[in-house]
Structures are given as C-alpha cells and as structure tokens.
C-alpha cells in the first residue's frame, strides 16, 4: 500500500497538481485505505498542530515587511545603488544582479519571491545592455538562492520551529555562507565576462556615487536593525519581523515618500495571499509527515544510515546527495517539514550541530529551485522572463554547479557556519 501511495504521489506531481494538494490527498487516501477512522478524525488536529507555533508568526510579518519595502521604493534604491557602484566593470550589470539579490535577501527571505521580483526588473535591463535574455534569466534565478541564507530567512524560521534550534542562531549562521555564495557567483561572472566579452557602462561620477550611498542608507536600516536587535538580545527573531515592518513603513512613507496610503490595501492583500499559500503548504506537509511517522519511515532511514557508516562526514555527504535528489522533485518547504523529523534523531548520534545542519539542509533544498524537472524557480523565471524552459536549464547549469560546490564547502567547513553564532553565544 505504501508503494502505491508513493507512486501516486509522483504521478500527481508530474501532471501538475500543486504540491500542497498532493500532500493532503495522499495523507487522506492512505489513512482511508487503512480503514482506521480514528486516524482520519485526528487529521484536523494534526493540521492545526502544524501551524500552532509562535515562530511561524514571523512569516507573515517578514512578508509584510518585504511588501512595504517594495511599495516604498526601498528595493529600487538598493538596486540603483548597486548599479552606480558596480555598473562600470565588465559584466557590471551581472554583478549588480548578484549584489542586489544579496541586499534584497535581507528583506524578502524567500528565493521564489525574490526570483520573481528580480526577473521583472533586471532581465529587461540586462537585455537592453546587450546580455542574452537566457543568461540574464539564469543569473537572476541563480543569485536568488542567497535569499534563504542571509537573514531574515523564512526557511530558517520553519526549520527552527521544527527542530527547536535557535532561529536567531540560524540567522547569524547564514551570514558567512551568504557572503561566500555572493563571492563565488561574482568570481564565476568575472570569468564568464572576460570569456564572452560582457558589456560595461560608463563610470558614474563620484558625486553621484556618494549621493546614491546616502540615499540607500535608510533602506539598509531594516537588515541592520534586525541583526543588531537579535545580537543584542533586545528582541527575538519573531519580534524583529514586527520591528522590520514598522521601519519599512516609516522609511517608505516619511523619507522616500513613495509609500502611499492607497497602496496599503493591495500590500495587505498580497501579504495575506502569500502567507495563506505558505501556511496551507506547512499544514499539509505536517499531516504528510505524520503519515510518514506512522509508517516508521524515519526509523528505517535512520537504521539504514547507521548501517552504512558511523562517520559524521560520510553521513553529511549522503544527506547532501539525498537532498539534492529530493530538492529536484519536491518543494523546499514541504521537503523541509517532512524530512527534519526524519533527520533530527540522527544529529545527536553523529554529533552534528543542529544549526550547522539547518544551514546545510536549507541551502540544499533551495538549490532544488534550480534543478529540473520540478525546480519551481525554473518555472517561475521561465514564465516571467519569457525564456524557453530548456534554454534556461542550460544557462543555469554553470551556476548550479557553483552552488553545489559551495554547498559542499559549507558542509565540511563547519566554522564558516558556526563562527558568528559561537562568537555571540547563540
């Protein structure tokens, strides 16, 4: 029976049924075929329990902060500053895309949202400058994977609530890996820029650079306040999301004067839709995880891992390979909710730090956005940027390989992840 459910699961995914509905349907179908009505009547309670967590409150708040910053012109100021600073280098607009994604990662915290937003703005701009559209789309999508790494991060919040790991610690642990990813993509662009003779623009005068820097300072308040507040212990990661909303509103309304009150209804509406989508997925994935636990699949995987090797480095290598495969066919958040309860019992056995593991699993599943056949980021950017899916896959390949290389560096270089959390005692 389990094999039939798994087969149906992949069939429904292939024919295009949304992952959240697939998870819910498979859970109901499985318990229905068991004939145990007690399990079916307990399912609503499981759905509620999946969402009954204070840490998840940060998700709608950070989404609202991102919408307020978009509506208030803060994101456009960040992109403009990166362009003034780096546009005159060969491949300058490609560097701008990476740096702008790193800036925006500290605002949106969602790779899909970031890829969608940046595709609308950067792909047409890069095409005007002489870049191929498929390369522009691939770069925009690839550099968006830093979104779940640099704080604040929605996927870190979900992992923290599931694992009990410090969300503040996860936020701090993502800083150095995020910078490593940015540097790796910049290095790759430098190589490609000289190989393919990427275009460059005129150097902006120093006065314009300084003016842009002063203009962008208020926009940087949001990530700075979040990080400073968590480091100092003034507020928790969840409370920092509410503070971010207040700052985003004040900066957009009073300083930049681009956030109009008439925009607020649409901002709130977009936040509600995005939050509902994520929370519905979390609830369904929680029920699916309950079904997996009932089948004792976590115990079977744990025993299988232990029978292969007791070396923690081999364990992490096997986990990465497994997650790269899973990330290619399953939505990152759904996979996270399903797999964290599977792997958590193994961390103590192998002596792996939960924060280090959290960064590994979150990066790994985010790379799945770039990986065919189900990589959601590929579908989003292909649609928005109007690029053929097959062409986008080919153009993404070098960035995908670089992303995997950095993933393994972070996996086996624990200090790169845990240096800041240890330094501040998180």
Query: In terms of pLDDT, which residue wins out, 224 or 104?
Result: 224
pLDDT at 224: 77
Q: Residue 408: pLDDT band by 50, 70, 90 thresholds?
A: very high
State which H helix or E strand residue 1 sits in: none
Using alpha carbons, select from 175, 153, 122 the residue that is nearest to residue 55.
Answer: 153
- DSSP tag of 150: S
At residue 127, does pLDDT exceed 70?
yes
For the cut 80, the answer to whether the pLDDT of residue 157 exceeds it is yes
- Tell me which of 90-94, 116-120, 389-393 is least confident: 116-120
Per-residue pLDDT tens for 313-342? 888 998 888 888 877 767 677 778 778 888
The predicted model gives 212-222 an average pLDDT of 78
Q: Omega before 152 cis (within 30°)?
A: yes
> What share of the chain has pLDDT > 90, as a percent?
10
DSSP character at residue 84: H
Work out the end-to-end distance of the chain between its first and last CA atoms, rounded to an integer number of angstroms.
44
Report the range of poorest mean pLDDT among 238-247, 300-309, 344-353: 300-309
What tens digit of pLDDT does each residue of 55-74 get?
777 778 877 887 887 788 77
- With a cut of 70, say whether residue 110 has pLDDT above it: no
Helix axes 19-34, 2-14, angle to 10 degrees: 160
pLDDT tens for 410-425 read 999 999 999 989 888 7
Q: What element of type H or E holds 250?
A: helix 237-250
Is 361 or 11 the better-scoring residue by pLDDT? 361
Residue pair 154/148 in contact by the 8 Å Cβ criterion: yes
Phi then psi for residue 16, to 5 deg, are 95, 10
Does residue 312 surpass a pLDDT of 80? yes
Identify the CA nearest to 156 among candidates 145, 167, 141. Answer: 167
What whole-number distance in Å separates Cα of residue 146 and Cα of residue 32? 41
- pLDDT for 1: 56
- pLDDT tens digits along 195-209: 878 877 677 787 887
Q: In this predicted structure, what is the pLDDT of residue 360?
A: 93
Render pLDDT for 247-305 as a digit per residue (tens, 0 to 9).
889 888 888 888 888 989 998 998 888 788 778 877 887 787 777 777 776 667 767 77
Residue 122 has pLDDT above 80, yes or no: no
- Listed range (353-367, 375-389, 398-412) with the worst mean pLDDT: 375-389
**160 pLDDT higher than 80:** yes
Could you read off the pLDDT of 167-190 as tens digits, one per residue? Answer: 888 988 998 998 898 899 889 988
State which H helix or E strand residue 286 sits in: helix 264-294
Higher per-residue confidence, 189 vs 219: 189
């Amino acid at each position: 029976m389990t094999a039939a459910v798994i087969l149906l699961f992949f069939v429904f995914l292939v024919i295009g049924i949304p992952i959240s509905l697939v998870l819910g349907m498979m859970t109901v179908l499985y318990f229905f075929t068991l004939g145990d009505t007690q399990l079916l009547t307990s399912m609503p309670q499981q759905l509620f329990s999946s969402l009954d967590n204070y840490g998840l409150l940060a998700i709608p708040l950070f989404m609202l902060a991102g919408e307020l910053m978009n509506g208030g012109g803060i994101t456009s100021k960040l992109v403009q500053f990166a362009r003034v600073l780096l546009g005159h280098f060969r491949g300058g607009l490609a560097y701008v895309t990476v740096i702008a994604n790193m800036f925006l990662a500290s605002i949106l915290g969602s790779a899909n949202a970031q890829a969608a937003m940046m595709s609308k703005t950067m792909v047409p701009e890069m095409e005007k400058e002489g870049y191929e559209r498929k390369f522009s789309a691939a770069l925009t999508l690839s550099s968006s994977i830093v979104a779940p790494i640099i704080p604040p991060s929605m996927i870190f919040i979900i992992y923290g609530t599931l694992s009990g790991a410090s969300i503040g610690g996860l936020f701090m642990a993502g800083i150095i890996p995020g910078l490593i990813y940015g540097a790796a993509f910049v290095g790759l662009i430098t190589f490609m820029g000289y190989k393919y003779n990427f275009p460059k623009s005129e150097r902006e005068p120093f006065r314009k650079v300084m003016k842009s820097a002063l203009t962008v300072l208020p926009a940087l308040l949001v990530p700075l306040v979040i990080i400073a507040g968590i480091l100092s212990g003034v507020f928790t990661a969840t409370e920092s999301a509410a503070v971010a909303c207040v700052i985003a509103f004040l900066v957009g309304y009073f300083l930049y004067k681009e956030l109009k009150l008439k925009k607020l209804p649409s901002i709130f509406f977009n936040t509600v839709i995005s939050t509902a989508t994520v929370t519905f997925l979390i609830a369904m994935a929680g029920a699916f995880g309950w079904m997996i636990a009932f089948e004792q699949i976590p115990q079977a995987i744990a025993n299988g891992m232990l029978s292969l090797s007791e070396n923690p480095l081999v364990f992490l290598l096997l986990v990465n390979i497994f997650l790269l495969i899973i990330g290619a066919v399953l939505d990152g958040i759904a996979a996270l909710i399903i797999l964290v309860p599977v792997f958590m019992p193994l961390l103590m056995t192998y002596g792996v730090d939960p924060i280090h593991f959290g960064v590994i699993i979150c990066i790994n599943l985010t790379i799945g956005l770039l990986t065919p056949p189900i990589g959601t980021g590929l579908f989003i950017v292909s649609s928005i940027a109007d690029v053929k899916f097959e062409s986008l896959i080919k153009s993404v390949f070098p960035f995908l390989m670089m992303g995997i290389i950095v993933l393994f560096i972070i996996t086996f270089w624990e200090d790169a992840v845990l240096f800041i959390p240890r330094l501040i005692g998180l």
